[in-house]
Structure 1
């Protein structure tokens, strides 16, 4: 009974510090003074409200088992609001009364308790006063915590952009976004980065001594870097607009200052990009007609005869036969060596069912393909050779101490294959372009799109057409056969008898 009753008395400092206790409950007489103390056998929390003329109505002391706190409990509009003013040991009684008055005024003005106001303050952002680095950090947090987290490659790209923005001559990372509204700094920084050239880290040397990459301006790097910065600021501005609208204030910025790069034509158009790719030889699919695909396959098969190179060669061979993106085939596991739960969150090969599944690809979907004859044969050979080790990886790393556990980088072996095959330029992604080039000659647009796992929500026709499994295997087998026929010796060796 006593535990739930509230009581009202003119509090004094002595009363707060020496008389009130969880062990006993004050009994207030008709004159508004304490007449005695009753035992608090159950040690229930109770509140003594302050009747002093300097105290706002609803101010008092809450006596708890472990501490005593000044509180304020008051109806504001249709709602009863509660606020903790502070610990009785830390704040003098007179100051607590003044703090309670200020808290009451704030609750009346904002319609929030101090705790609610602090919570809003945690999420409150003013983009104009944030640095570019702070915007990128907040954007990165969003990319990691959203329902579909960003891929590691995207996060690495964002981190690289931040490092470039902090370079001497660029110096934007620690600049406040609000200080960039004149836009001159952004334009100058972009031009500085775009005119620059690649530099080697001290103590390293070029992987390919013949590459021309170090002689070309890094305009692509500048575009990627500043697009990341622009997206980060856009995200923060959108978030601030929501918060500002609910708080009844104007956002600190009206326009993203990085928009000037697009408005002033610093980013290249699609036509300019295509011309750039053509001039720099950035896209180099191997061709059936000029013999480059055949020479590559012959060089690959010869290199495959060396046991130490077999994993790398099989990886490149299957990347070509499947037309996968760089890195999609590398983390494949054997389906029969992993659990059902693991199979739902990783890439795998199922020899018994005749399917390969690539988990969480670039467009966020899982991509599946049937196993055509040559691909199946290579996988069967790999599975038989790995039975003793019982590794879950289709392409295990050479070292058992490798962090990722599977094969990763094909740059070095690709350089050797280029030289042996008499091929001028070739990147791992060019194998996917090679697959697409051959497939485009062999089958329909809908099948090519399905084989490459290309999805475009604006393509209405693509949403209507469906490629059934039997036809998919038939067409994939035709594409595989067409590529292998460019190197008859490899076709005989790779295709099952």
Structure 2
């Protein structure tokens, strides 16, 4: 690298270069100008705390040599004291990141699923809007503790816990961005004070004696797309979105299998079709209107969560379980014998997944096959990580589960199950 006694005339006369050529100033160590094909740029190069640092001062076309040398001398003096002005500015900007700015950077640095982003958005917009423009580093333990209690009291304990888990993730991210220069995560207060709300894992599923009236109500749904979606879910144990977003490109009718590509653990999940499922897919294929197995009228193109139909099933089963067919008849029974009234079957879509696995477990299907059917991660199960259960090996257990579900959905199966529970 050439060293020159830089003058304005010399800088003006420097030729352009295909590659970067650096000219260091003999009068000011660490200062120089480099040329490229399109420009000449003043720069400084020095060591700061043992690390070599290079910073640009400005374009030679926009500033004179004397001005550049003055700026360089000032910056080099700070670097000699172990201070990098540019890094200080960057750190200051990072320290001032607001909660929502941190969230934007977090989304850019992670491969988050759309539903995860929506969940974070909903939590931050619903419960901490007043924190949006505050530096995330200004959120204190006291603020966290108070907000957690307030959201729990007004909106539910699950919402409060989920909000704080979201803030904890964002703060940990900011902690790394600032090279650990902000205070430790304030959400730790909830663990230290044992303030997290206890959330018991939901254990609800359709009992054997409920499957017949549930199935009867499902078959009364006028929308065949929704009806068949509910049947596919209970006969496969798929998660809600896995079924809603299933595409025909992932269905192999010749091989009698289908694949879920967007899964919770990131691993493609291929399942075989039982005879019942194959017939269901044949019916769905005959009504195909777009790329989705369960098409919908909205922008997404696929079915969305059928909440109205779940309410319909609850109402219909309320009638059938009490031996009537109309609301007027039910009102009469309630008036005569209110203590004998049975509630309708209220359920969420994930209950159908639990129903599937509960029926499967009752058939003594091997544990490894159960995990494979549900696409559960092996986690720390070293032995499980070596087991490779192919789709074909799941055909027999899938057929057995379908057979058992169909049996329980028949009227006589319901009667026998009720007798057995008495």
- 1:37 aligns with none
Q: Secondary structure at the match of 2:243?
A: coil
Q: Tell me the TM-score normalized by structure 1.
A: 0.67
TM-fit CA distance, 1:44: 11
CA distance in 2, matches of 1:481, 1:76: 73
CA distance in 1, matches of 2:271, 2:219: 23
Please say which of residues 155-164 and 126-135 is displaced more in the overlay: 126-135
- 2:157 aligns with 219
Is 1:264 the equivalent of 2:193? yes
User: Among 150, 153, 157, which residue is 1:195 paired with?
Assistant: 153
Deviations 1:147-197 (A, max 9, x none): xx1211111111122213434xxx43344344344x222211111111114
User: Higher RCO, 1 or 2 (CA under 8 Å, sep at least 6)?
Assistant: 2
User: Among 158, 170, 173, which residue is 1:235 paired with?
Assistant: 173
TM-fit CA distance, 1:232: 1.1
Q: Secondary structure at the match of 1:356?
A: strand
Uncovered stretches (5+) of structure 1, i.e. residues with no partner: 26-39, 144-148, 198-217, 242-250, 336-347, 492-497
Larger radius of gyration: 1
RMSD over aligned CA atoms reads 3.8
Q: Secondary structure at the match of 1:486?
A: helix
Is 1:420 the equivalent of 2:335? no
- Contact 1:484 1:490 (8 Å CA) reproduced: no
CA distance in 2, matches of 1:362, 1:417: 28
User: Among 239, 251, 254, which residue is 1:325 paired with?
Assistant: 239
TM-fit CA distance, 1:107: 5.2
- 1:480 aligns with 402
Q: Secondary structure at the match of 1:328?
A: helix
Q: How many residues align?
A: 387
**Structure 1 382/62 Cα, relative in aligned 2: closer, same or farther at 3 Å?**
closer
CA distance in 2, matches of 1:265, 1:47: 60
User: Among 138, 152, 163, which residue is 1:179 paired with?
Assistant: 138
Deviations 1:372-409 (A, max 9, x none): 011100111221333xx5x3322222x3xx32222222
**Structure 1 381/99 Cα, relative in aligned 2: closer, same or farther at 3 Å?**
same
- Contact 1:351 1:376 (8 Å CA) reproduced: yes
Is 1:158 the equivalent of 2:115? no
Please say which of residues 377-386 and 321-330 is displaced more in the overlay: 377-386
**Structure 1 122/477 Cα, relative in aligned 2: closer, same or farther at 3 Å?**
farther
CA distance in 2, matches of 1:330, 1:254: 43
- 1:131 aligns with 98
Is 1:100 the equivalent of 2:53? no
- Contact 2:48 2:82 (8 Å CA) reproduced: no
- Contact 1:166 1:174 (8 Å CA) reproduced: no
CA distance in 2, matches of 1:258, 1:84: 40
**Structure 1 125/86 Cα, relative in aligned 2: closer, same or farther at 3 Å?**
closer
